[in-house]
Structure 1
Amino acid sequence: MGKLTAAKVRNAKPGFGSSGKPVKRAYQDGDGLFLLVAPSGTKSWMLRVQVDGKRRDIGLGAVDVDGLGSTAFGRDDARLTDIPLMLRKSLSLAEAREKAAALRKLAKSGSDPKVERDRQRVKVPSFAEAVTEAHKALSSGWSDRTANAFKASLEEHANPKLGALKVNAIGSADVIAALAPIWTSKPVMARKVRSRIGQVLAFAKARGWRTDALPDVRELRTGLSKQARGGNFAAMPFAEVPTFFAGELEKGVSASRHAVLFAILTAARSGEVRQATWEQMDLEARKWTRPASVMKMKEGHVITLCDAAVALLDAYASKDMRKGLIFAGVRGGPLSDMSLTKAMRTAGRSETVHGFRSAFRDWAAERMPTIPAMVAEMALAHRVGTTTEQAYLRTDLRDMRRSLMEAWGRFAAPSLSGVAENITPIRSAAKR
C-alpha cells in the first residue's frame, strides 16, 4: 500500500530552503513513485528505477487534481476513455501507480522504460506522408525508374482513397476501396499498386507507426473482382520475326526503329537497349558488356553479338560518331520506353518489345533442341539452376551462347548475316 493518499497529494506543499524561499519537494509513495511539488506549487509524478545498474528518473505527468478521488485506473471519464495511459498528460494517484507499475515491470525485464513510455507518443503520419517517407528511405536502393514509378503510381491510384488516413488505421476494406477503380481496367498496374501499398504499410510498421498486421492478400482478393487471365507481355510468334525485321530494315534509319531491331537480335530488355552506349560495345570481339546498373538483376552481363547485330551497328553510325548513347533521343538523352512502343505501333503491330525475348525463347526451344535450355536462359540474363547449382557453375557458357545467338541472327535477319544474296542497304545515321 502506498504512503500517499488523495488528501495528502491535494494538500502537499513545496519545501523551504535555508533562505526561507520555496524549493522543490519530493513526497515518496513507494516502489519508486514520487510526488514532486515545484516552488510554484505545481505538482507532478516521477518514477525512479534502476536501468542497467544506473538510476533513472522518469517523468510520468502532472497531477490530475480533479481525479484524485479516483480509487482505480480507468475511471468513468468520457474525456479519457480513448487516451492510452502512457499518453495521458495528467494522472490521478491511482493512475500514477498503474503507470509506474507498468514501467517498473518493463525496467525489470530489461527494457528501457522511457523508450516504452514515449513509444505511443510517436506522431502517426497519414498514408500520403508515409509514401513520401518510404520513398525517401528506400529509393536509394532502387533505380531512378523504379523509384519514380513507386511514388507516381501511389500518388495517382492510392492517395485519393488512402492519402488522408493514418497508416495505423488502414485495413483491408480501405485497400480494396483504393484498388477497385483500376483492378479490372488496369490489372497490371493494380497489382503493382497493391504490392506498393503493402511496402508502405510494412515500412510504417517497422517505424513503429503501425502495430496491426498488414492487410491479408487473400482478403484483398476476396473483396475484389476476378481479373482476366493472362498478364504476360504480348509476343510476336517467332515465325513472323524475319518478315517483320526485313520490313522495318527497309524503312531506313531511325533511332527508335533500330533500337527495336537491335533488341530483337540481342534478346535484350528495352531499358538495356535504350541505355546502351558505344563504350559498352566491342565489335571486334563481338560482345556487349552491360554494367550492373542497367540490369534488372543488378548483375553485370555480357551478350555475345551475332554477325547481324554487328552489321546493324556498323551501318547505323560511322566510327567517328560512336560515342555515348547508341540510340539517343532527339534531345540527346536515352529514348523513352514509349518511343519503342510507338515504333511497334507505327509498324502496325500490337506486341511489346519485351515480347521479342519470348519469341527468342520459343524459337530456341523449338528450333535449337540440341542446345541446353540453360544456355538460352543465360542469353536472356536470367538466373539459372538452384542456389547450389549456381555456386558450382563457374562458366557463363559463352561459346554455346555465341552459337545460339549467331543462329538466331541468321534466322531473324538473314540479309544482315550474309545468308541471303540480296543484302538490304542501310543508310548511315550520319545522313539522317
Structure 2
Amino acid sequence: MARLLNRLSPKFIENIEKPGRYADGGGLYLQVSPCRNGDVSKAWLFRYMRGHLTRTGRPTSREMGLGPLSTNKRDGFLTIKEARDRAYRARENLKAGIDPIEARRALKLAKRVEDAKAVTFRQCAAEYIESQKAAWKGEKHVKLWANSLKRYVDPVFGGLPVAAVDTALVLKALRPVWETKTQSAAKLRMRIELILNWATTHGYREGDNPARWRGHLKNVLPNPGKVTKVKHLAAMPYDELPAFMVELRQLDTTAARALEWTILSVVRSDNTFALTWDSGELDLEKKFGPFRLLG
C-alpha cells in the first residue's frame, strides 16, 4: 500500500530543481517555482476541497500558502516538520468543519485587535499631532498641544491603552482645572476628543467618544462660558511706552529682558516663554532690530 503521508524525503526536497508541485500527502505540497535569476524558490502550500460545488458537482479547490521552505531554520521559513505540522492542523480544522483559510484570517484579525488595544493614548496623541501639524499655525501650536497634554493628561491616562480611556478618566483629567483654568480646560477637552476620534478611525478603540461635550460631558460639567468670564488686561497707552522702556531697562533681571524682548519683537508671551537658544528664531550674527538686545 502506497504511503499516504510524508512522501517526500529530505534529500528530494533539498535537491529538486525542476519547477512544479510535489505532493507530500494529506494535501501538503512542495511548490518549486522559477526565479528571474535562473534559480528556483521552494514553498509549502496546503490544498483542500471546500465550499460551493462546481459545475461538475465537485467541491471547490482552495489553496493556502504555508510559507517558504527552510533547510537552515531561517526566520519566517518552514522546515519539513513545521510544514507537516501546519498541514496536520489544517486537516483537523477541516474535520471540525472549519475552513483553514478563514481560521487563519480570524487569528490575524484577533491579533490586530490585541495589538490595537496595546496602543497608548500618548502614542495616539503624538501621531495625531504629527498628522495635523502641517495645517496648524507653526510650531507654537504644536507646543501648546503637546504641553497641555503632557501636563494634565499624561499623569492620568497618557500611558494607558487608548481603548481603555473612559468618561471617568477624562473627568479625572479635566475637573482639577475646569473651574480654575476654564478656557484652557475647555481646549484640553476638545484636544482629547479629537485624539480619541482619530484613534477610533484607526481602529484602536470602539464606541462613543467619552470626551464629547454635547449630550455627554455637558451633563456633568458646568458650561465654560458661565464658569468664568474672560477678563482682558488693559493695554498701556502708546504715548507712555517710551518712559516705561527707560524704567524697564534699568532693571537688571531676566524677567525685565524677557518683557523688553516681547515688546520689541511684537510676539505673544507664549513665544517668549517657549524661546530657547536653539529654537531657530534668534539671529545672533545679524543682530537686527530687537536682536541687538542680546549683545
The two structures have a TM-score, normalised by structure 1, of 0.39
Matched, 1:151 2:142: no
CA distance in 1, matches of 2:86, 2:111: 21
Listed one character per residue, the Cα deviations across residues 98-124 of structure 1 (whole Å, up to 9, x for unaligned) are: 973997xxxxxxxxx999787536444
CA distance in 1, matches of 2:123, 2:261: 40
Does the C-alpha gap of structure 1 residues 325 and 127 become closer, same or farther in structure 2, counting only changes over 3 Å? farther
CA distance in 2, matches of 1:169, 1:272: 33
Amino acid at match of 2:229: G
The equivalent residue for 2:85 is 42
CA distance in 1, matches of 2:91, 2:168: 40
> Which of residues 16, 22, 25 is equivalent to 2:7?
16
Offset of residue 156 of structure 1: 1.7
The equivalent residue for 1:222 is 219
CA distance in 2, matches of 1:182, 1:92: 61
The equivalent residue for 1:100 is 102
The two structures have a TM-score, normalised by structure 2, of 0.54
Aligned length: 219
The equivalent residue for 1:231 is 230
Matched, 1:170 2:213: no
Listed one character per residue, the Cα deviations across residues 274-322 of structure 1 (whole Å, up to 9, x for unaligned) are: 7xxxxxxxxxxxxxxxxxx99xxxxxxxxxxxxxxxxxxxxxxxxxx99
The equivalent residue for 1:120 is 113
CA distance in 1, matches of 2:150, 2:95: 45
Listed one character per residue, the Cα deviations across residues 108-153 of structure 1 (whole Å, up to 9, x for unaligned) are: xxxxx99978753644411123233334444455522222232222
CA distance in 2, matches of 1:249, 1:236: 18
Matched, 1:134 2:128: yes
Offset of residue 176 of structure 1: 1.6
Matched, 1:241 2:246: no
State the secondary structure of the residue aligned to 2:230. Answer: coil
The equivalent residue for 1:326 is 289
CA distance in 2, matches of 1:99, 1:217: 44
Does the C-alpha gap of structure 1 residues 138 and 24 become closer, same or farther in structure 2, counting only changes over 3 Å? farther
Does the C-alpha gap of structure 1 residues 260 and 137 become closer, same or farther in structure 2, counting only changes over 3 Å? closer
Q: Which runs of 5+ in 1 are unaligned?
A: 1-12, 46-61, 69-90, 104-112, 275-292, 295-320, 333-429
Offset of residue 158 of structure 1: 0.4
Question: Identity, % of aligned pairs?
Answer: 16
Q: Would the aligned equivalents of 2:26 and 2:87 in 1 still touch at CA under 8 Å?
A: no
Listed one character per residue, the Cα deviations across residues 309-340 of structure 1 (whole Å, up to 9, x for unaligned) are: xxxxxxxxxxxx9944533497x4xxxxxxxx
Does the C-alpha gap of structure 1 residues 329 and 188 become closer, same or farther in structure 2, counting only changes over 3 Å? farther
Q: Would the aligned equivalents of 1:259 and 1:273 in 2 still touch at CA under 8 Å?
A: no
Does the C-alpha gap of structure 1 residues 169 and 136 become closer, same or farther in structure 2, counting only changes over 3 Å? same
Does the C-alpha gap of structure 1 residues 43 and 249 become closer, same or farther in structure 2, counting only changes over 3 Å? closer
The equivalent residue for 1:193 is 188
CA distance in 2, matches of 1:272, 1:121: 41
Does the C-alpha gap of structure 1 residues 327 and 135 become closer, same or farther in structure 2, counting only changes over 3 Å? same
CA distance in 1, matches of 2:157, 2:185: 15
Does the C-alpha gap of structure 1 residues 42 and 181 become closer, same or farther in structure 2, counting only changes over 3 Å? same
State the secondary structure of the residue aligned to 2:228. Answer: coil
Does the C-alpha gap of structure 1 residues 182 and 140 become closer, same or farther in structure 2, counting only changes over 3 Å? same
| Within-5 A mapping of 1:11-410 | 14-17=5-8, 23=24, 25-26=26-27, 28-31=48-51, 40=81, 41-44=84-87, 62-63=89-90, 93-94=96-97, 96-97=98-99, 100=102, 120=113, 122-124=115-117, 125-139=119-133, 142=136, 143-215=138-210, 216-218=212-214, 219-227=216-224, 228-231=227-230, 234-236=232-234, 241=237, 244-245=240-241, 247-249=243-245, 251=247, 253=249, 256=258, 258=260, 269-270=267-268, 323-328=286-291, 332=294
CA distance in 2, matches of 1:24, 1:157: 62
Amino acid at match of 2:145: F
Q: Would the aligned equivalents of 1:128 and 1:163 in 2 still touch at CA under 8 Å?
A: yes
Q: Would the aligned equivalents of 1:175 and 1:220 in 2 still touch at CA under 8 Å?
A: no
Does the C-alpha gap of structure 1 residues 324 and 162 become closer, same or farther in structure 2, counting only changes over 3 Å? same
State the secondary structure of the residue aligned to 2:188. Answer: helix
